[in-house]
Amino acid sequence: MKTQKMQDQIFGVIVLAVAAFYTVFTFLIPLKEGSDIINARTVPLLLAALMWVLGICQLVTARKADTKPLDKEARDLRTVLKTAVLIVVYIALFEPVGFLITTMVYLFLQFIFLTPADKKPNYLFYGIISLVVSLFVYTIFRYSLDIILPQGLITFF
Amino acid sequence: MKKRQLFASVMAGALLLGTLAGCGNNSSADGGGEEWPTKAVNVVVTASAGGDTDFNARTFATYFEQVTGQPMVITNTAGGGGSVATSEVKDSKADGSKILFCHTGQMIVNEVAGLIDYSMDDFDIACIPAVDKGTVLVASKASGITSVEDLVEKAKAAPGEITYASELGGYSHLQGLILMEKAGIDLKILDIGSASDKITNMLGGRVDLAAISYGAVKDYAETGDLIILAQYNEERNENLDPDIPTFVECGIDFVMEKPYIIAFPKGTDQAIIDKINEVAAQIAEDPDYQAALIEGYNQPAEYIAHDEALELLAQTREDYMAYQDLLQ
Amino acid sequence: MLELFAQGFANVFSPFCLVLMVLGTVIGIIFGAVPGLSSVMAIALFLPLTYGMDPGQGLSVLVALYIGSVSGGLVSAILLKIPGTPASIATCFDGHPMLARGEGAKALGAGVFYSFLGTIISVVALMFIAPQIAKVAINFGPHEYFAISIFSLMLIATLSSGSMVKGIFSGVLGLAFATVGIAPLDAVKRFTFGTVALSDGFDVLTVMIGLFAVSEVIKIAEVAKREKASDVAQVNMKVKGFGFTVKEFIQQIPNAIRAALVGLGIGILPGIGAGTSNLVAYTVNKNADKKHSDEYGKGYIGGIISSETANNASVGGAMIPLMTLGIPGDGVTALLLGAFMVHGIAPGPLLFQNYGPLVYTIFVACLVATVLMLVIEWYGMHIFAKVLKVPRHILLPIVFVLCVVGAFGLSSRVFDVWAVLIFGVIGYFFTIFKVPQAPFVIGFVLGSMAETNFRRGMMMSDDNFLDFFTKPIAAAFLIFTLVYFLYVVVKEIKKAQARKTASGQAV
């Protein structure tokens, strides 16, 4: 992603890839017998066609795009990746382990991951906040919104 | 930095341990059937909040708590024509903690229409806690139809011209199909959507007929913008306008009352099912409950116990199956 | 009428009712402001409580919740760049740049004041011309709904300040996601990959919090490590009044009027409401306000005014078909209808005639709730701003947890939480490639409406597409859509040519 042109081209390719994916699955939509001209595939086909057109437009205009290097935006991909994995694990364990435990652990770890480099993580403070937020949210949902969040291992309240 | 990483891995390990423990613990059930309910019961309703199904479920829930001391927590899962809710309850633990509250539209019509690939036999049906008797057939002013006899006459003169508003594949579609067969007429069935859409389109003169709950069209009947033709009940429901005839009185052998159903996942303890029947019978006797139903949806309280309910539903299913090809 | 008004005042101004209304407004604002919690949840929570109350008082409380929650979304839109509800999406566009420039107080003040104004205008319309404008709603059938959804989509897709292709792609992708699930009319399962969960498609709340909130959490991870601990945004809350001047107020009158009309017009149509009207009003004003057109999206007060006036004007707008026709337009008004029905009152054309005192109690409640909202939010501004004192690495994970529970609470299934994550990832990619998120949300919201009504219309017209052009309202919207599209394309091309010549001269 060094130049605007490259970025625009990559985007064009992504659009075409999405279009291809969507087109294939549109043709896999089952049709009912006697479906007339307008059926469950009509609108998806129209959208797929639009995506192809947009992808091509994007690639065509990208040819004339700026080739000057973009400002270097350093993305801290390590932290992004750690956060993404943490979120996936959190959601995966949300139901089996239960809201309280997973949320506490998620918050605690997420606070640590996102702590600015020039600041030391304050574990005690993070722990307390994680605990308080989880308990507070659970109680509010359970007792005032009547929504039972996954209880998992803690089934006693 | 190192210390932080150590801490993180310890916590991650704790999470993992939690999962393992969680896997071994899944079978913890909710005590024996006799004591049921020992904690809040989750009721999955096949309709969004605010409608008649939701109203019946919530009213029942209020009195359930009065009788048993345990609350019923309502979850509204309207999606997929109710199929999301039915699937959810079907696949949940059979420990009495999750109940389905629906009506024949979701329990039977969805199967007939091919929307779901399972049937009422995949549940333990508990009872019919209430029966909707408020639905009426309505004609728009623009259609010029004034009575069922008039409708039959006009439809026979111009087959397939008179339009009927429904949700294709749903309960109202079936209502239309059965009406067509029993009256020997041919209507043009359109997909219009919810009750609100039906009313708007009838007022706008874009569609001629629809089956709607009485409460929603009462005012329009008075102003003359809509004409109520008949009620779907076996006998006149005295809580509606007493002058609305039944179809039978109009010479069409057509009755279609809509029972609500309480069902459990298959394999639920018989003691739990007996218990909820006991509770439902008690609720149906409660004068406050009866008054609430009449005030909300002009609906007299009616409770049909387990065996009789099963019989009725099986019969209904057989009747509806005759329309399978037309509905799909 | 005055007598009825007096009676309404007497009902609302009972201490019991007033206390509940204050509580309702506060809770509404909180539910509106917290991403993941919605107006529908707030009202569903209170609905059972109102069963035991007198109908007028019960509805007053619900109305307070409704008004509070539609307005509350502006707080998180401005302070966090995360709209609390779909009604405040357009508020982010200018609200956050203003905050970054140190004008957070002014942005909040304008949002609060114009929320108030929008509601008042719509309530006045509800009181005096409801039956007349309700007739408009009756004239909208499938053909007209199809036309207006296409019209709104086009307006919003071309809104993007950057590349038009990206804006339209975002909208088309939203439409594509709306096709997941059971198809309208023939109930064919599409893109469900054999799962039950997908047969219901995605919920709009998961789309919105995913695209805006979760993507924001992932984005913060990009820079979190580099951020200095001292980089916490400071908002100067020492402002006079609402932060804007009388001169600005006079200048903005045309914007406010246009936004109010758009909000009201969209609000009265069942099926579309504040979530669409804020964006349509924003686009309309951006085009109409020629002098400041370029300032929209860069922290222009007119942007906030457009969005907040329109979304709250839709509140009164949505009440009109509910109270005069008995037709609810969205989840919230469906719940309000339920609140009427429980008391044996079926709203319809005779409601005003048969239940005059009740109707006027609701009118007064709307006015009172609007004033309460103004007062509470004005005093609350200082408390809201304190939220920003919480370091972002603490605040955003908590926001994320709220999104997770909000999604889970929709129908108690983890599937919706996964959906939030999926839309979060999409939203993150959007920010990398500078694709606007708003068209996606609107494409998603209007997608199923456009398709369903297209197919219903075709069925009604025996598959004759020309019917969409023989019905005057539908034809007008469709032709205007076409003309507008051509206008935008020509403008784009001219802009590209101008850029070309400019760069040519430079070389």
Do the Cβ atoms of C334 and B48 come within 8 Å?
Answer: yes
Q: Tokens 């296409």, residue?
A: C150
Residue A143 CB partners (closer than 8 Å, separation 6+): none
C-alpha radius of gyration, chain A, whole number = 24
Q: Contact, A120 vs C391, CB < 8 A?
A: no
Closest-CA residue to B166 (of B118, B109, B119) = B109
Q: What are the phi and psi torsion angles at B211 (to 5°)?
A: -100, 120
Chain A residues in contact with C176 by the CB 8 A cut-off are: 22, 44, 47, 51
Chain B residues in contact with C344 by the CB 8 A cut-off are: 295-296
Q: Contact, C50 vs C58, CB < 8 A?
A: yes
Closest-CA residue to A45 (of C190, C25, B113) = C190
Q: Is the pLDDT of residue B6 over 50?
A: no
Residue B299 CB partners (closer than 8 Å, separation 6+): B56, B130, B131, B132, B133, B134, B237, B239, B293
Is pLDDT larger for residue C146 or for residue A157? Answer: C146
Give residue-wise pLDDT tens across range B264-288. Answer: 999 999 999 999 999 999 999 999 9
Residue B26 CB-density burial (10 A; 0-12 exposed, 13-18 middle, 19+ buried) = exposed
What is the per-residue pLDDT for C488? Answer: 86
Residue C110 CB partners (closer than 8 Å, separation 6+): C242, C243, C244, C301, C304, C305, C308
Do the Cβ atoms of B79 and C411 come within 8 Å?
Answer: yes
Q: Is the pLDDT of residue A74 over 90?
A: no
d(CA C368, CA C65): 12
What is the per-residue pLDDT for B21? Answer: 40
Q: Tokens 């594509």, residue?
A: C176
- C162-179: average pLDDT: 91
Do the Cβ atoms of A79 and C409 come within 8 Å?
Answer: no
Q: Which of B15, B38, B39 is the best residue to mutate to test the A interface, defined by the most A CB atoms within 10 Å of its own CB?
A: B15
Structure tokens, B231: 């009620």
Query: β-strands B98-103, B209-213: how paired?
Result: unpaired
Do the Cβ atoms of B193 and C456 come within 8 Å?
Answer: yes
Q: Subunits that touch chain B (at least 3 Cβ pairs < 8 angstroms)? A: A, C
Indicate the SS3 state at residue C229: coil
A61 at the C interface (CB within 8 A)?
Answer: yes
Closest-CA residue to B199 (of C137, C468, C455, C338) = C137
What is the per-residue pLDDT for B257? Answer: 92
Give residue-wise pLDDT tens across range C456-494. Answer: 999 999 888 999 999 999 999 999 999 998 988 888 888
d(CA C88, CA C195): 33
Percent of chain C whose predicted confidence (pLDDT) is above 70: 95
Q: Is the pLDDT of residue C505 over 70?
A: no
Give residue-wise pLDDT tens across range A57-67. Answer: 999 988 877 77
**What value does the mean pLDDT of chain B take?**
87
Q: Residue type at A127?
A: G
Q: Residue type at B239?
A: N
* CA torsion through residues A47, A52, A55, A58, sign: negative
- C333-341: average pLDDT: 87
- C242-265: average pLDDT: 92
What is the per-residue pLDDT for B18? Answer: 42
pLDDT band at A124 (very low <50, low <70, confident <90, very high): very high
* B41-131+258-327: in CATH 3.40.190.150: yes
What is the per-residue pLDDT for A35? Answer: 60
Q: Contact, C87 vs C217, CB < 8 A?
A: no
What is the per-residue pLDDT for B272? Answer: 93
Q: Is the pLDDT of residue B26 over 60?
A: no
Where do the DSSP E strands lie in chain B? 41-45, 72-76, 98-103, 123-127, 131-132, 135-140, 163-166, 188-191, 209-213, 226-231, 258-265
Structure tokens, A64: 């004339």
What is the per-residue pLDDT for B115? Answer: 86
pLDDT band at C233 (very low <50, low <70, confident <90, very high): low
Structure tokens, A8: 């625009």
- C357-377: average pLDDT: 94
Those of residues 326-345 in C touching chain B at CB distance below 8 A are: 326-328, 331, 334-338, 341-344
Q: What are the phi and psi torsion angles at B140 (to 5°)?
A: -80, 160
- B132-155: average pLDDT: 94
What is the per-residue pLDDT for C235? Answer: 60
B6 at the A interface (CB within 8 A)?
Answer: no
Do the Cβ atoms of B206 and C185 come within 8 Å?
Answer: no
pLDDT band at C232 (very low <50, low <70, confident <90, very high): low
B53 at the C interface (CB within 8 A)?
Answer: no
Chain A residues in contact with C229 by the CB 8 A cut-off are: 116, 118-119
B115 at the C interface (CB within 8 A)?
Answer: yes
Q: Contact, C268 vs C261, CB < 8 A?
A: no
Give residue-wise pLDDT tens across range C77-90. Answer: 999 889 988 899 99
Those of residues 95-124 in A touching chain C at CB distance below 8 A are: 95, 99, 103, 106-107, 110-111, 113-119
Helix A99-114 to helix A123-139 angle (10° resolution) is 140
pLDDT band at A16 (very low <50, low <70, confident <90, very high): very high
Do the Cβ atoms of B49 and C47 come within 8 Å?
Answer: yes
Distance from CA of B242 to the nearest CA of A (A): 40
Distances (CA, A) of C110 to B78, C71, C273, C368: 38, 12, 22, 20
What is the per-residue pLDDT for C448? Answer: 86
Chain B residues in contact with A146 by the CB 8 A cut-off are: 71, 73-74
Q: Tokens 């909300």, residue?
A: B296
pLDDT band at C306 (very low <50, low <70, confident <90, very high): very high
Distance from CA of A17 to the nearest CA of B (A): 29
pLDDT band at B25 (very low <50, low <70, confident <90, very high): very low
Do the Cβ atoms of C421 and A110 come within 8 Å?
Answer: no
What is the per-residue pLDDT for B15? Answer: 46
Q: Is the pLDDT of residue C446 over 60?
A: yes
Give residue-wise pLDDT tens across range C42-91. Answer: 888 788 788 778 889 999 999 999 999 999 999 999 998 899 888 999 99
Indicate the SS3 state at residue A154: coil
d(CA B91, CA C413): 13
Those of residues 21-40 in B touching chain A at CB distance below 8 A are: 21-23, 25, 28, 40
Give residue-wise pLDDT tens across range B51-82. Answer: 789 889 989 998 999 999 888 888 888 777 88
Element (H, E) at A45: helix A42-63
Chain B residues in contact with C182 by the CB 8 A cut-off are: 80-81, 83, 115
pLDDT band at C230 (very low <50, low <70, confident <90, very high): very low
Closest-CA residue to C21 (of C51, C54, C71, C66) = C66
Q: Subunits that touch chain C (at least 3 Cβ pairs < 8 angstroms)? A: A, B
Q: From B226, which residue of chain C is nearest by alpha-carbon distance?
A: C349
**Prior bond of B245 cis (ω within 30°):** no
Region of poorest pLDDT, from A68-72, C193-197, C402-406: A68-72
pLDDT band at A136 (very low <50, low <70, confident <90, very high): very high
Closest-CA residue to B141 (of B233, B217, B250, B240) = B217
Q: Contact, B303 vs B110, CB < 8 A?
A: no
The CATH class given to the B135-250 domain equals alpha beta
Judge if B41-131+258-327 and B135-250 fold alike in CATH terms. Answer: yes
Percent of chain A whose predicted confidence (pLDDT) is above 90: 53
Q: Which of B10, B19, B328 is the best residue to mutate to test the A interface, defined by the most A CB atoms within 10 Å of its own CB?
A: B19
pLDDT band at C240 (very low <50, low <70, confident <90, very high): low
What is the per-residue pLDDT for A2? Answer: 67
Chain B residues in contact with C198 by the CB 8 A cut-off are: none
Closest-CA residue to A112 (of A145, A86, A135, A91) = A86
What is the per-residue pLDDT for B2? Answer: 44
Locate the domains of chain B by residue range: 41-131+258-327, 135-250
Burial readout B112-151 (b: 16 or more C-beta within 10 A, e: otherwise): bbebbeeebebbbbbbbbbbbbbbbbbbbeebebeebeeb
Residue A102 CB partners (closer than 8 Å, separation 6+): A90, A93, A94, A152, B15, B18
Residues in chain B: 328
Q: Residue type at A70?
A: L
